[in-house]
Amino acid sequence: MGHNDIMNTAEDFADQFLRVTKQYLPHVARLCLISTFLEDGIRMWFQWSEQRDYIDGTWNCGYFLASIFVFLNLFGQLSGCILVLSRNFVQYACFGLFGIIALQTIAYSILWDLKFLMRNLALGGGLLLLLAESRSEGKSMFAGVPTMRESSPKQYMQLGGRVLLVLMFMTLLHFDMNFFSILQNIVGTALIILVAIGFKTKLAALTLVIWLFGINIYFNAFWTVPAYKPMHDFLKYDFFQTMSVIGGLLLVVALGPGGVSMDEKKKEW
């Protein structure tokens, strides 16, 4: 079996998967995408005092402002999740969740931790894809005036979302010299490049979903660590943030790469 035959078989599988799951795949994608916000909002409720004391101790801002911070995180994340899942005011929910990401990036000093910053940017990429999905195809700033599909804001949101999503995989690269790490780096890098440029996008994104889900279950199994240990919360945070990136990739699988992509350009050639 030649290279083209293997690629055609893989693409046929991806198309068949999409046909079978197209009714509920976007719903699963949205649930996965907001899962980290849902988990963090619930954690704010149960760890109100700990979070308040941490912010007060870090920024010396007093209990009142620290409590406001915790409340904004709790209310903003849970309300945003409800709006996204109910498909009401999704664009406002996305902007609110963008604000939460920015707020946490500053409050928890994520700005100076490259790994966590890249993961937060990847999470923002998922929200950008969700925002693009929520936009009506027919909307235009100039009613009645035809516009090029490639130049519409939605297409560039999809491009930006794809590019930001791949930052998650850059945090998973290992610079060991053993065969498995080298193979994983080569295959993973090839797949993230394909998603970023929008070539064989659905197949590449679906492969990354499978790969990332396996890594997530294996390395971030927080349920195997007692809840009283700090590692439990660390792994839980990593697990749900990874699930959100998986949700973004599932949106790419369900909706395609958009107009600014090699897949779309191929149709014009």
Span 9-22, pLDDT tens digits: 877 777 787 788 88
- Report the SS3 class of residue 171: coil
Report d(CA 257, CA 131) in Å as an integer. 14
Domain assignment of residue 162, given as a range: 20-137+154-262
Number of C-beta neighbours around residue 52 at 10 A:
20
Which H or E run contains 178? Answer: none
Span 193-205, pLDDT tens digits: 888 888 888 889 9
Residue 58 per-residue DSSP state:
H
Span 131-178, pLDDT tens digits: 998 875 444 433 444 444 444 788 888 889 998 988 887 777 666 677
The alpha carbon dihedral of 257, 260, 264, 265 has a sign of negative
**Is position 79 within any domain?**
yes
Residue in 136, 128, 160, 119 with CA at minimum distance from that of residue 260: 160
Span 210-220, pLDDT tens digits: 988 998 998 89
Residue in 256, 32, 253 with CA at minimum distance from that of residue 154: 256
Report d(CA 28, CA 220) in Å as an integer. 20
Residue 229 per-residue DSSP state:
S
Tell me the chain's radius of gyration from C-alpha atoms. 20
Domain total in the chain: 1
**Is position 198 within any domain?**
yes
**Is position 15 within any domain?**
no
**Is position 267 within any domain?**
no
**Is position 35 within any domain?**
yes
**Is position 177 within any domain?**
yes
